[in-house]
Amino acid sequence: MKILTVVGARPQFVKAAVISRAVAKCDGVEEVIVHTGQHYDTNMSDIFFEEMEIRHPDYNLNINGLSHGAMTGQMLEKIEKVIIDEKPDWVLVYGDTDSTLAGALAACKLHIRLAHVEAGLRSFNMQMPEEINRILTDRVSNILFCPTDKAVENLRNEGYENIDCDVVRCGDVMYDAAKYYQTKAKRPQADIPQKYILCTVHRAENTDNEANLKGIFSALETISEKIPVVIPIHPRTRAILAKANYDFAGSRICFIDPVGYFEMIWLILHSELIMTDSGGLQKEAYFFGKKCVTMREQTEWIELVDCGCNVLAGANTELIIKSVDEMLAKNVDFSLPLYGDAHSGEFILSKLMGK
């Protein structure tokens, strides 16, 4: 059996590596990895692949820096050619990027079976390009690998019981990855306070909205009076703050340079609380037993809110401060198996093999 995996961003490589490791242990299965190049990432050096134990892509399409339409169109054209040349039994896509959608369209138009990992996730916000990508990808997939019960429920509510496809609750491959890499966690080369809150801010809905950005950073400054807030600052976020004349020198916030995945795990493990507008970090907080305040109006990971491990605070200064105070004082149960048993990769591969 041959699997053609389409990825386009660093987090997708980490997810794909989970199944690649399962493939490496299985006789009779070949995997071809196609990197669209969607997110140009200088951190994706040889060291990245070696440290993360990730296979180098077999194809690198180098498509990036274009509009959604132009990028998706070029990816579709080039992925289609690779599929025709490689003749895979399955095309495997992850998540909700333009690369995900392009891989899905190329596969279904060539009548190659398509599997979508992280299917069924919904933010119910059609202003997000990711929401459009994930809905369209789900609709043309043959197997929808859902990480959570909520994802399965979303598809049921959309009538997928009446569509010729298999909806499978498989657990979350990111949980597999987090547990696998936990032993490799390492302290960043930065001055980290002994007790701190870990925070990330990078989503366009916050960074490109002046009121949202001001609301969030006003809250962070106030919170930093009580407990240090450590932010591995995304270059784009730093540039936007600088343009807005943010007083970095007078700030109480502990800004550090961006960190790698192993350093991020260390920061999560040693933090008191997570504050973020990231999707993945909300889950990683749960994986490592940390409470989370999410600075967004919606989340795809609603089960975290339902179980009390996460709270949505948006960009409202007062609500963010109140949410942090309440979460720091709150007792939370992290024992619920929300994301499987850290063996999702093997389970997914067995389903692709028809077992």
Q: Respond yes or no: is residue 234 known to be catalytic.
A: no
Dihedral (CA of 61, 40, 151, 53) sign: positive
Look up residue 267 and give its two tokens: 């920061």
Q: Which long-range contacts (CB under 8 A, 24 or more apart) does 245-249 make?
A: 246/217
Supply 223's token pair. Answer: 């919170």
Phi, psi of 173 (to 5 degrees): -65, -25
Give the CA distances from residue 237 to residues 9, 54, 74, 160, 198, in Å, rounded to whole numbers and listed in that order: 19, 28, 29, 39, 16
Enclosing H/E stretch for 45: none
Eight-state DSSP code of residue 57: P
Q: Which two tokens stand for residue 130?
A: 């990711």
| Orientation angle between helical segments 261-269 and 279-287, nearest 10 degrees | 50
| Catalytic position from the list 35, 116, 202, 234 | 202
The partner residues of 91 in beta bridges, in order of sequence, read 4, 114
DSSP secondary structure code for residue 225 in this structure: T
21-38: burial string, b at 16+ Cβ within 10 Å, e else: bbbeeeeebebbbbbbbb
Phi, psi of 305, rounded to the nearest 5 degrees: -70, -45
First to last CA, the chain: 13
Using the 8-state DSSP alphabet, how is residue 161 labeled? G
The phi and psi torsions of 308 (rounded to 5 degrees) equal: 85, 10
Helix (H) or strand (E) holding 181: helix 173-181
Which residues are marked as active site? Answer: 202
